[in-house]
Structure 1
Amino acid sequence: MHSVYLNQTIKLICVFGIASAVLLAVQYSQPPIFSSFSFLFSGANSPDLKDSYPAFNGSVVIEKSTKNGSSFTNLSMVYEKKPKVDETLPVMSISQMNDLLHKIRSSPHSAPSQLLTRVDHQLLVAKSQIENAVITNNDKDLYAPIYRNISMFKRSYNIMEQTLKVYIYKDGEKPIFHDWILEGIYASEGWFLKLMEANKQFVTEDPNEAHLFYIPFSSRLLELTLYVPHSHSRDNLIQFMKNHTEMLITKYPFWNRSNGSDHFLTACHDWAPAETRGRLLNTIRALCNADIQTGFHIGRDVSLPTTYVQSATNPLKNVGGEPPSNRTTLAFFAGHMHGHVRPVLLTYWGNDTDMKILTRMPHVKGNQNYIDLMKTSKFCICARGFAVHSPRVVESLFYNCVPVIISDNYVPPFFDVLNWESFAVFILEKDIPNLKTVLLSISRDKYVEMYERVRKVREHFFWHSEPVKYDLFHMILHSVWYNRVFRTGF
């Protein structure tokens, strides 16, 4: 009898031990949302999920039930009201950005604070020629509707090809300087750096004939090299770039000729705006994180496209998509629920049968499910995550899917020359509840027109191992050149 009780006691202890281990695992090894649900096991009151799961705005319903003689708990989230995007931050719409750019370009410049150099005079001549370009609406290589002003763009590009000289600083050691990563979501900075250093047409060894000075660093390799894991601090990265800049200023006379306004850099990491503050703020910064709220300066800085390159040997793999008649899904999005916008998007439209608004998709080799949905959707949602930029913008263009950009204060790539509103849809974050209404209001003819413009503009977003005219390498360089021309004398 005692042995029976002993065996039962041992079994109870084992069961209790296993249950305790499971509870500890759930509480300490899972994402925050699971630790929030630990009250189911402890019998405690329901916690406030808003702290752990910002997308949630409601209550938790717990139903006790029985099935096959065993009790179980069913948990569901009930929204008291739909979650909303924070509307307290100032927002600049795409039309307001257009107005600001026009104001900057048309404002009379004050007299230069110092004597102009021979190079400055060349830039002033170029500016005059661009502003007085012969009007053209037809060009075999360029499609007028996708540009702000095709005549000015064509003239500026031609002058750049004939005139521009870039001096590349040789200072700095690998891997942070003069090195690159050609795959992944930070690939843009790597491709440009690699192609720029190999270029023979624009690069000069004589700094006295240079119109631009390039600081060849990789923000991604800076992070991989110097960031201390789990430190949650970028201070050492910021200080490193500050020290390097001060070294260039002290060692060479070039910076002081224009206070750095003829210097430029390319950086695609989310942290790049913080790493390029201080003296670097006066340079032309080509940034993927082109966020007005974090200091992106329209008319000076350049919005660098975020290109997700899967294969360095074949960066144009899978380009193309179905014609409009075969695109059966109204709108598509899939991705992690990063940031404050995507959970709201999922809440409003995750169950809509005309759209596919998803979290992570099942993994398929080469990300084929994701690509196929982009190729068969009319509109592709480019919703911001933690930062304003997303590779989905360029992916949409690759797969002939009209981009729908939901990212307040994001300045789209090549904003200085491209007419983005002619081939993309912009929706403020607060207007996510109206997403479907906006998309359905676009007529069939208008959609087909936008689709064709996407096919035309995507050529500007292609990487080539050997750069070709009007490709991504040349478009980035042109935007830097263009902003330099219109800031001459500053």
Structure 2
Amino acid sequence: MARPFFLLYSLSDSLRSLFFIPTALALTTSLFILFYISSTSNLFTPHLHRHSRLHFLQNPSGLSPNLQSQPQSTLDFDSSTPKLGVTVDHGGDAKPLRSSNGRTVNVFHDHDIFIEDYIKMNESFKIYVYPHPRNHPFANVLLPVDFEPEGNYASESFFKKALNNSHFVTKDPTEADLFYLPFSIARLRHDPRVGIDGIQDFIKDYIFNISHKYPYWNRTGGADHFYVSCHSISRSAVRKAEEIRLNAIQVVCSSSYYVSTKKLAFFAGSMNSPVRERLIKAWQNDTEISVHSGHLNTPYEEALLDSKFCLHVKGFEVNTARIGDALHHGCIPTIIANHYDLPFADILNWKSFSIIIATSDILSLQKILTSISTDEYAQLHNNVLEVRKHFQWHVIPVGFDAFYMVMYELWLRRSSVRVPLS
């Protein structure tokens, strides 16, 4: 009786083996197909248009107005782009270079894709600006200024002025990719008729008015509309306008306040966040890292030029403007923050020209900065000189400057499908 049982068991085992063979063949074939696709197509290439989050490194690796002219490094280009007066190199190795410590050297995630898309944007992108007459009671808030902007929040005025004089503006709303809400939160804040307490009601009333006068807001709930805000109160400013808060695109000016000296690193700013308080408490008596609450009497530009690393620490909000100043003066941005969306992160590889440190590593700040070798620092500094033109504002926009970079980011967020008017 034992033999038949053994034969039955052997037969069952053989049948299981036969069933497994086609399954294994199918799995193997699928793997070969998958390998072939991944090696011959761009299907598995990371999409550069996704919003990037910070990735903190074990060892250290905005949008702000710069009002002075300094020599700037340039990209190497071959063929011309007529409207910008620059040339474009479509060749080259797309693989990122790496330094000896593994830090990426290229400042772009993918230079070729960026240039290709940039040209498309420059040729086809259209924006409709809601019109307001020069005699409007709030013309100072809604229309471009007739002077050269200055101050911490000048980016708002630079952008509005540049956009209105650009080829991106269309008078035909049916061909517009996006719609611009031209109010200035910084100017509303200083208008005695509005002030901080009245901004929320002003914006709520503004959205009510354009949604009843024009059909464009209602067809998407404001999803194809955008506004620019460089002031730290921008988040609370739209609190009463639910649709603009949830749906509209907000173009913000990044960075926070810092000043630099000949020290290893320097910070001066208002004590308006727990992170800043921790930084001051940890390093206020240090001889290499000089941190202060409040502003200094020394010239700001000289301080930036004399510092190796400029500390960028989140304050009350994340969008007060200073990172561009550090880049403009050749100072390495040292960003102390968690989960921070950085300017132009879709395009630029921030690990190649900045130091990113988690707030939990504030006590290790000196160790992290002094561990950076001379060669690493030189590479970071060279990359800062290369990318700083992308953060530079000009009265008349120049190709690849801050205005065009913002336009490119907006172009990435346009809808590929136009919603028809009902």
Q: State if a TM-score over 0.5 links the two structures.
A: yes
Candidates 287, 291, 294, aligned match of 2:252 = 287
Unaligned runs of 5+ in 1: 1-91, 97-132, 289-303, 309-320, 322-326
How far residue 362 of structure 1 moved from its aligned partner, in angstroms, is 4.8
- Deviation per CA, 1:196-217, whole angstroms, max 9, x where unpaired? 1222x11111111111111111
Distance in 2 (alpha carbons) for counterparts of 1:353 and 1:487: 58
> SS where residue 109 of structure 2 aligns?
coil
SS in 1 for 2:149: coil
Choose the corresponding residue for 2:139, options 174, 180, 191: 174
Match 2:151 to one of 174, 178, 184: 184
Give me the whole-angstrom Cα distance separating, in 2, the residues matched to 1:345 and 1:307: 13
Does 2:309 match 1:379?
yes
What amino acid maps onto 2:338 in structure 1?
D
* More displaced stretch, 334-343 vs 441-450: 334-343
Q: SS where residue 175 of structure 1 aligns? A: helix
Partner of 1:415: helix, strand, or coil?
coil
1:346-365 correspondence runs (5 A): 346-360=280-294, 362-364=296-298
Is residue 109–residue 347 contact of structure 2 (8 Å, CA) maintained in 1?
A: yes
Amino acid in the other structure paired with 2:108: Y
Letter matched to residue 195 of structure 1: A
Pairwise CA distance, 1:167: 1.0
Supply the distance in 2 between the matched residues of 1:442 and 1:144 (Cα, whole angstroms). Answer: 15
How many residues align? The count is 317
8 Å CA contact 2:232, 2:320 repeated in 1 = no
Whole-angstrom distance in 2 between the partners of 1:148 and 1:244: 39
Distance 1:262 1:361, change over 3 A: closer
Picking from 253, 259, 266, the partner of 2:215 is: 253
The alignment status of 1:393 with 2:323, answered yes or no, reads: yes
Q: Is contact 2:158-2:394 (8 Å) kept?
A: no
- Secondary structure of residue in 1 paired with 2:55: helix
Q: Distance in 2 between matches of 1:274 and 1:358?
A: 28
Query: Secondary structure at 1:202's aligned position in 2?
Result: coil
1:206 counterpart residue number? 172
- Percent identity of equivalent pairs: 34
1:402 paired to 2:332: yes
The corresponding residue for 1:298 is none
Residues 130-159 of structure 1: CA deviation (Å, up to 9, x unaligned)? xxx977548xxxx98112222221111100
The alpha carbon displacement at 1:218 in A equals 0.3
Amino acid in structure 2 at the alignment position of 1:94? L
Runs of 4+ in 1 over 6 A off after TM superposition: 305-308, 486-489
Q: TM-score, normalised by structure 1?
A: 0.59
Distance verdict in 2 for CA 1:403–1:174, change over 3 Å: same
Q: Which amino acid letter does the alignment assign opposite residue 279 of structure 1?
A: E
Structure 2: 5+ residue runs without aligned partners? Answer: 1-51, 57-88, 95-103
Cα distance in 1 for residues equivalent to 2:156 and 2:251: 9
Structure 2 residue 97 is matched with structure 1 residue 147: no
Partner of 2:242: 278
Query: Shift of the alpha carbon at 1:343?
Result: 2.7
Any conservation in 2 of the 1:179–1:217 contact (CA below 8 Å)? no
- CA distance in 2 between partners of 1:329 and 1:410 (Å): 26
- 1:487 shift after superposition: 8.7
DSSP 3-state at the match of 2:267: strand
- 1:24 is aligned to none
| TM-score (normalizing by structure 2) | 0.68
Equivalent of residue 334 in structure 1, options 250, 255, 268: 268
Give me the whole-angstrom Cα distance separating, in 1, the residues matched to 2:188 and 2:333.
Answer: 31
SS in 1 for 2:141: coil
User: How many angstroms apart in 2 are the aligned matches of 1:137 and 1:266?
Assistant: 36
2:200 maps to: 238
Three-state SS of the structure 1 residue aligned to 2:142 is coil
Letter in 1 for 2:149: L
Q: Distance in 1 between matches of 2:143 and 2:168?
A: 17
Structure 1 counterpart of 2:375: 445
In structure 2, relative to structure 1, the CA distance for the partners of 1:361 and 1:168 (3 Å cut) is closer
Q: How does 1:12-31 map to 2 (within 5 A)?
A: none
Q: Does the residue aligned with 1:469 lie in a helix, a strand or coil?
A: coil
Structure 1: distance between partners of 2:334 and 2:363:
14
Higher relative contact order (CA 8 A, sep 6+): 2
Deviation (angstroms), 1:334: 2.2
Verify the 8 A CA contact 1:261 1:484 in the aligned structure 2.
no
Q: Contact 1:405/1:426 (CA < 8 Å) preserved in 2?
A: yes
User: 1:157 and 1:93 mapped to 2: Cα distance?
Assistant: 22
3-state SS, counterpart of residue 329 of structure 1: coil
